[in-house]
Chains A and B, each alone.
Chain A
């Protein structure tokens, strides 16, 4: 059983569309991170959110941490083929020196 549930698992959209990926848990996290992973490579950190209700923007990507620090979302505006990849959310608890990863959302953006 995943401590962090990501949805959807797969998403195939056309260039220019908007999308939202969700990361939900029944547990409270001291911080939550989003990573993107491309085939044959390790995950790359996109953002860390720490405060409940926090919103961070990274160009066309908007990340939100839930008020209760149990959930998070990633919204991509006007998706581009370069956004294609595996998106992973990961939560840190307590001292924050290990992460629990969600199952991932595999995004494909078609030109």
Chain B
């Protein structure tokens, strides 16, 4: 079965712009989580959606937002981009969001560069 698909793979944006990233989870998976990965901070949790509802949110400013559609596809948006937002954004899907047994399947990520 198809894996987790993230689009686009690469993005270059200018400070102050906004950006939308897309994630299609594995078919049948209802939980989608987003992580930011940077060399300095590693992987940091952004938010998790399950059945179109945000269940958890990490410690990021309100410029970071997301949503999930009825087909479980998810988007995340970053407004008023800052240089420090340059990172690899990873989407992870799981069947129920209960990670104690099955873990995540990650996409290949979207590499965002803010100039």
Contact = CB atoms under 8 A, between A and B. Distances in A.
Contact of A97 (B31, B35, B105): B31
Contact of B42 (A31, A42, A45, A101): A101
A48 B100 contact: yes
Nearest to B109: A42
B101 to A, nearest CB: 6
Contacts of A104: 42
Interface residues of B, number: 28
Contacts of B56: 97-98
Interface residues of A, number: 26
B107 interface: yes
A79 B105 CA distance: 25
A33 interface: yes
Residue in B43, B90, B107, B109 with the greatest tally of chain A CB atoms within 10 Å: B43
A41 B98 contact: no
A33 B103 CA distance: 7
A78 interface: no
Contacts of A2: 42
A101 B4 CA distance: 20
9 contacts: A2-B42, A42-B108, A43-B90, A48-B103, A92-B99, A92-B100, A97-B98, A97-B99, A98-B33
